[in-house]
Amino acid sequence: MLPKINPLKTKSHAKLKAHAKEMKKIHLRDLFEQSGRFGKFSLTWNDFLFDYSKNIIDQKTLSLLLDFTKEMKLGKAIDSMFSGELINETEKRAVLHTALRKLSPESETDKDFYIGGENVSHLVREVQEKIKTFCGRFHSGSMTGYTGKKFTDIVNIGIGGSDLGPVMVTEALRQDWKEGIHVHFVSNIDPSHIHTILKKINFETTLFLIASKTFTTQETMANANTAKKAFLDSGAQEKDTALHFAALSTNIPKVTEFGITPENTFTFWDWVGGRFSLWSAIGLSIALTIGYDKFLELLRGAREADLHFRHTAPEKNIPVLMAVIGFWYTAFWGSQTEAILPYDQYLHRFPAYLQQGIMESNGKSVDRMGKKVQYPTSPVIWGEPGTNGQHAFYQAIHQGTHFIPSDFIASVHSRNNKHNQHQILLSNCFAQTEALMKGKTKKEVMEELSSKGMSKKEMENLAPYKVFPGNRPSNTFLIKEINPRNLGSLIAFYEHKIFTQGVLWNIFSFDQFGVELGKVLANVILPEIEDKNTKVEHDSSTSGLIRQYHEWK
Ligand code: G6Q
């Protein structure tokens, strides 16, 4: 079980509060006056450099934050998660997405994962073997569609956790796509989404993956039924469904009811949360797109990050550092938001992926004792790839009234370098973190304006607008290259940051009752939209919207 501790009652929290007052008197520029700052506040691990020196922290901040993790019993919480305890207490489930990435067989020194005495690593390996065989047949062409043609297209139908991970990963690894294979994702219930995809594909060479843990999600089932109907309308027979549809699900009876064969059904388990499921059967679209071996590389990278998280001292532990720094800003600096800024076009869905991972996990306001929390929890997560963001919202990060800690993510090698474009990209990334940290003082602005020959009065009038306060914190991940292994590690780092922050906020990170509410509410209103004679009893706004719909329909 996870410890239940009110963070506000810890000694280190009180000390951090007092320390924050002191740190607010210091500017990041001044902190950089001390020599060796980069060496002290950055670390390298595998192909990663994690630079957290541009944060408003000093050695004392860090040691108080790490004391705080001890008081919150982070070490015990990590052991509880990895040892398969039912730490998702509200749903009485273990949380073992980490088990999906342990590929090596059990040995004395490298134990498998267990839940209540059951070896779940065996179950994982069975499904992985099945995925491997399936991918082999798919890529060799020995698996064909109902007219005997080799498959060329994959359409993954799923939403939320059954969509965002595979979309993000396949986009990030576009350079690794198997030749001749195209992957498409349908998630939204809006018929325009599936319509756009169905228009692009040839049914004879398309494999549909119905990705749904529960196999009851309204959007996914509606899209799956539309796809099946369109497939049959294209000239296929009911029996051909067996060749063109596969299911990724924990609900085998529902899968069978839909007409999908056991051979094409890939299962996973209730101890894999939706937003942590890309490593499971939900990752089949990834394995089919980049090949099984590269899918394994992704898992290996994540496993390396798991071992780092589990066994590295907190002061050298990347996810722990990410988590405590984020905690510092939400608790003591009033930060309500965090920007994720990948300087890599292929990572363009990474912010959206983390939006779910972070906000669905830690957007909670009741603590582990069932009490309303008296402190802020998950920040709002958002972002876009650089440099697009620079020409859009960076204005607010530099000079706005909100305090926005940001994560910059960049790679040294582009797998697509054209002329010197990658160097230009990187120079922008580094320049932004420098500018956010330093800002531009009035003195610097005046010197700049004076060199343009402006009058003293004009300079005085313009200067306030041109001053940059600086002192805006950022982390930078500089990665040698975005490849399957490094991407696996990067994602797992953020997963463990999420877990750690949940422990520090004393909340349950692995349920999502807020998401489930939406699923129930829409089912109440649907009949009222479908039939205008159904009695409508809502608040005046909701009833008004429904009435207007019928009037205009
Ligand atoms: C993730 C959430 C949620 C879920 C979707 C899809 O952690 O629980 O995003 O993944 O609602 O659910 P199904 O996979 O059951 O269709």
pLDDT tens, the chain, 553 aa long: 899 999 999 999 999 999 999 999 999 999 999 999 999 999 999 999 999 999 999 999 999 999 999 999 999 999 999 999 999 999 999 999 999 999 999 999 899 999 999 999 999 999 999 999 999 999 999 999 999 999 999 999 999 999 999 999 999 999 999 999 999 999 999 999 999 999 999 999 999 999 999 999 999 999 999 999 999 999 999 999 999 999 999 999 999 999 999 999 999 999 999 999 999 999 999 999 999 999 999 999 999 999 999 999 999 999 999 999 999 999 999 999 999 999 999 999 999 999 999 999 999 999 999 999 999 999 999 999 988 999 999 999 999 999 999 999 999 999 887 778 999 999 999 999 999 999 999 999 999 999 999 999 999 999 999 999 999 999 999 999 999 999 999 999 999 999 999 999 999 999 999 988 877 888 889 999 999 998 888 999 999 999 999 999 9
Distance 225 CA to ligand 1 centre (A): 18
Name the catalytic one among 9, 199, 311, 391: 391
User: Which residues are bridge partners to 304 per DSSP?
Assistant: none
Around ligand 1, the residues with Cβ closer than 6 Å are 159-162, 212-214, 217, 220, 273-275, 360, 512, 515
Beta carbons of 421 and 467 less than 8 angstroms apart: no
What atom in ligand 1 is closest to the CA of residue 220?
Answer: 16
SS3 230: helix
Distance 277 CA to ligand 1 centre (A): 9
Residue bearing the CA closest to ligand 1, atom 2 = 274
Q: Which helix (H) or strand (E) holds 87?
A: none
Residue bearing the CA closest to ligand 1, atom 9 = 160
What atom in ligand 1 is closest to the CA of residue 360?
Answer: 7
Handedness of CA 343, 346, 349, 355 (dihedral sign): negative
d(CA 411, CA 326): 23
Q: Residue 381's CB: how many other CB atoms inside 10 A?
A: 21
Name the catalytic one among 204, 297, 304, 360: 360
The preferred substitution site among 220, 515, 517, 519 for testing ligand 1, maximizing ligand atoms within 8 Å of CB, is: 515
User: Could you tell me which of 320, 389, 390, 379 has the C-alpha nearest to residue 354?
Assistant: 379
Beta carbons of 362 and 502 less than 8 angstroms apart: yes
Q: Which helix (H) or strand (E) holds 339?
A: strand 337-343
Residue bearing the CA closest to ligand 1, atom 8 = 274
Beta carbons of 98 and 306 less than 8 angstroms apart: yes
Q: How far is CA 369 from the centre of its chain?
A: 27
d(CA 199, CA 222): 17
Residue 458: φ, ψ to 5°: -60, -40
Strand pairing class (474-481; 406-413): parallel
Distance 274 CA to ligand 1 centre (A): 5
Block residue for tokens 């349908």: 186
Distance 271 CA to ligand 1 centre (A): 13
Residue bearing the CA closest to ligand 1, atom 5 = 160
What atom in ligand 1 is closest to the CA of residue 161?
Answer: 10
Residue bearing the CA closest to ligand 1, atom 1 = 274
Distance 157 CA to ligand 1 centre (A): 12
Amino acid symbol at 290: I
* Per-residue DSSP letter, 312: S
d(CA 154, CA 212): 16
Handedness of CA 527, 192, 353, 104 (dihedral sign): positive
What atom in ligand 1 is closest to the CA of residue 275?
Answer: 7
What atom in ligand 1 is closest to the CA of residue 273?
Answer: 7
Q: Is 419 a catalytic residue?
A: no
Strand pairing class (153-157; 42-45): unpaired
Whole-number CA gyration radius for the chain: 26
User: Could you tell me which of 121, 104, 15, 5 has the C-alpha nearest to residue 65?
Assistant: 15
User: Could you tell me which of 213, 231, 216 has the C-alpha nearest to residue 155?
Assistant: 231
Distance 480 CA to ligand 1 centre (A): 33
Residue bearing the CA closest to ligand 1, atom 11 = 160
For residue 401, the model assigns a pLDDT of: 97
What atom in ligand 1 is closest to the CA of residue 249?
Answer: 14
For 517, counting Cβ atoms within 10 Å of its Cβ (0-12 exposed, 13-18 middle, 19+ buried), the class is exposed
What atom in ligand 1 is closest to the CA of residue 276?
Answer: 7
d(CA 459, CA 447): 9
Q: Is 360 a catalytic residue?
A: yes
Distance 160 CA to ligand 1 centre (A): 5
Phi-psi region of 447 (alpha: psi -120 to 50; beta: other; left: phi over 0): alpha
The preferred substitution site among 185, 249, 509, 512 for testing ligand 1, maximizing ligand atoms within 8 Å of CB, is: 512
SS3 383: coil
Name the catalytic one among 70, 76, 122, 519: 519
Distance 360 CA to ligand 1 centre (A): 11
Geometric angle at alpha carbon 57, from 356 and 364, rounded to 5°: 25
User: Which residues are bridge partners to 339 per DSSP?
Assistant: 382, 406
What atom in ligand 1 is closest to the CA of residue 512?
Answer: 8
Distance 97 CA to ligand 1 centre (A): 15
Distance 123 CA to ligand 1 centre (A): 21
Residue bearing the CA closest to ligand 1, atom 16 = 212
Task: State both tokens at 210.
Answer: 């119905």
The preferred substitution site among 97, 162, 521 for testing ligand 1, maximizing ligand atoms within 8 Å of CB, is: 162
User: Which residues are bridge partners to 42 per DSSP?
Assistant: 51
